[in-house]
Structure 1
Amino acid sequence: MNAKAFFTHPLGLMISAAGAAFLWGSAFPFIKLSYEKLDIKPDEIGEQLLFAGYRFLLAGLLVYFIFRLLKKDMKLRRVHIVTLVKIGVVQTFFQYVFFYIGLSYSTGIQGSIIAGTTSLFQIIIAHFMYEDDRVNRMKSIGLLIGFSGVILVNLPKGDLQLSFGIGEILLLFAMVSGAYGNILARNGSQKMDVIYLTSYQMILGSLGLVVIGGVTSGFFPFTFDMQSFMILLYLAFLSAAGFILWNNVMKYNQVGKVSLYLFLIPVFGVILSAILLDETLHYIVFLGLALVVSGIIIVNRPAVKQQEKDS
């Protein structure tokens, strides 16, 4: 089975998209653990950006060297540089600069709920960019149900304050940047290999994070032990594996068909935080998970039926 057959097959699509969401969801507890081990405070944005830069730079280099060892052609081509820089700046640099600064001015629950809007922005952008990926009634219903699940998952964390300030605006910018970056990566993957694209966009995007974080807090403010280094290594791995899976999913499928899988990220984040950080897991989280899965099924069901007719 070739890559296209796997990533377009309903089971392959589900495994890949949900797998990427699971990996990204696991980042929440491991980032918390890394901040605890490295003594990074919530208001130390420079250190947070620098650590994110370390993470994505290491992720990009891991992909590069692993696939070089596997004899894959990873040589940077001049014709791709502008596209790769654009993807890296939007998908990695801007997204995480806006995210970390915005989160420092917002509450955790509002940040988690706003993080769920990536799917919405991705589908809206795709509506205007692709004639065969318009927003329809089923997508709207699926989005509404899925986003309701994201809100439910986060409600047990505390009271939802309906305030909207600079923090929330920056978080929205982060989600728009992430959504647009995913679209740019999808377009770029039509002209270059996904693994090659993923490696270089993370390397190029991370350099800005390292520079900004380094200038504001020093380039080597952390003291790593084996445990904190292994956490950083895992965060780099999940970034690399998550982007490779997701970029392949985006390459071979309609944006509107797969975007709702991103709603699983905060759900997995809450569940894994409860397991790894001994946080309370409320029953309402599973109701939220059920709503997210229902939204995914609603959006994907017509396409599955059509495939069955064609076969």
Structure 2
Amino acid sequence: MKTMTEKIFTHPLGIIAAAAGATFLWGSAFPFVKLSYAELNIGKEDVFEQILFAGYRFVLASILILVLMKLIGKKVAYQRGTLLKVGRIGLFQTLLQYVLFSYGISSTTGVQGSIIAGTTSFFQIILAHYMYASDKISLRKMIGLVVGFAGVILVGISKGSLTLHFGLAEICLLLAMFFGALGNVMSKKESEHLEVLYMTSYQMLLGGLAIMAIGASGAGLLPFEMTWSTTWMLLYLACISALGFVVWNTVMKYNKVGSISMYLFLIPVFGVFLSGAMLGEELHMFVWAALVLVVSGIVIVNGKRTKAPTAGSETPGQELTQ
């Protein structure tokens, strides 16, 4: 019998609400990180400060989840034999993803970062091809991947010229999205054996402490002059990390990778428009074109087609996810 959690996260409306909520939170991270850097005077060259701030965010996020677990009566103590499992997820989903993300977003615009974030869906599709026998890449998926990555290339074209600006920062963001996708797929596998709240909190704690150690090695442990404004922004970023990953890891636990990856297209949608509204970044023609390509690619990849019925197969009109 399905639990209440499983019923919620497998119901179509539950999936839409959860996925849209998680992607909205992640999309809002782009302008908020940029605003935090500006408030704390963290420049493009302040790499260790960027990394340290990310470490603060994820250690705080893990603590928030642990407090939630305590409040709802779940065990928060470390479970023997889980270190390798949560450590492996923390390496990819937190440490590698956000070390690269922290540097990448500091040297590019919130709009560019948001659109590049759309590639997470493509990376998940590619990884699922090798990790799940039922999620192989078809011709349709390949077309979608090509269309989507064309959008990522286009986002590097500056306004009014055909000059490509796709440098180290954008490469770091692409790598961050790849490691994030890998962490997402790995968390789905491990959630079969670990409770989602426990898995998410401890992978964030281990990954966050490692990020803090890297940042502190070059910037010290407390280099920032925190104000009420920067404290609020740090708390918000920690909350969106905690809530976003708990919700996303839960919806991943109960559904196929291919069936929910399409919702990741909402990250660039939310991120682009929030960056435009909060940072005043111009949404010029290349941004709109890139956004259309990325979203189109993800829709193509995750679209459904009707399979012709055969004897003993599905009933006419039943859709099969490819």
Q: TM-score scaled to structure 2, two decimals?
A: 0.83
Structure 2 residue aligned with 1:137: 139
Give the counterpart letter for 2:88 in structure 1.
K
Structure 1 residue aligned with 2:92: 90
List aligned pairs for 1:106-255, cutoff 5 A.
107-108=108-109, 114-147=116-149, 161-162=163-164, 167=169, 169-255=171-257
Give the counterpart letter for 1:225 in structure 2.
T
Q: 1:83 to 1:12 in 2, by over 3 A?
A: same
Structure 2 residue aligned with 1:14: 16
CA deviation digits over 1:159-204, x for unaligned, max 9? Answer: 5644666555544432322221111111111111111111111111
More helix by share: 1
Specify every segment of 5 or more residues in structure 2 that has no aligned partner in the other structure, as ranges: 308-313
Q: 1:116 to 1:178 in 2, by over 3 A?
A: same
Q: 1:90 to 1:67 in 2, by over 3 A?
A: same
Task: Please say which structure displays the higher CA radius of gyration.
Answer: 2
**3-state SS, counterpart of residue 135 of structure 2:** coil
CA deviation digits over 1:34-56, x for unaligned, max 9? Answer: 11111111110100000000000
Distance 2:215 2:253 in 1: 32
Q: TM-score scaled to structure 1, two decimals?
A: 0.86
**What do you get for the CA RMSD once the two structures are aligned?**
3.1
Q: 1:169 to 1:36 in 2, by over 3 A?
A: closer
Structure 1 residue aligned with 2:79: 77
1:28 is aligned to 2:54: no
Q: 1:251 to 1:158 in 2, by over 3 A?
A: farther
**3-state SS, counterpart of residue 78 of structure 1:** coil
Q: 1:18 to 1:134 in 2, by over 3 A?
A: same
Within the candidate set 51, 59, 62, 1:60 is matched to: 62
Structure 2 residue aligned with 1:5: 7
Task: Note the C-alpha offset of 1:82.
Answer: 1.1
Distance 1:158 1:222 in 2: 39
Q: Is the 8 A contact 2:122 2:298 kept in 1?
A: no
Task: Note the C-alpha offset of 1:68.
Answer: 0.6
Q: 1:146 to 1:166 in 2, by over 3 A?
A: closer
Task: Note the C-alpha offset of 1:153.
Answer: 6.6
Q: 1:210 to 1:161 in 2, by over 3 A?
A: farther
Give the counterpart letter for 2:233 in structure 1.
I
Q: Is the 8 A contact 1:116 1:147 kept in 2?
A: no
Pick which of 191-200 and 94-103 moved more.
94-103
Q: 1:28 to 1:154 in 2, by over 3 A?
A: farther
Pick which of 11-20 and 274-283 moved more.
274-283
List aligned pairs for 1:267-282, cutoff 5 A.
267-282=269-284
* Count of matched residue positions in the alignment of Structure 1 and Structure 2: 309
Q: Percent identity?
A: 52
Give the counterpart letter for 2:62 in structure 1.
G
Distance 2:161 2:105 in 1: 17
Q: Is the 8 A contact 2:94 2:204 kept in 1?
A: yes
Q: Is the 8 A contact 1:257 1:299 kept in 2?
A: no
Distance 2:159 2:66 in 1: 39
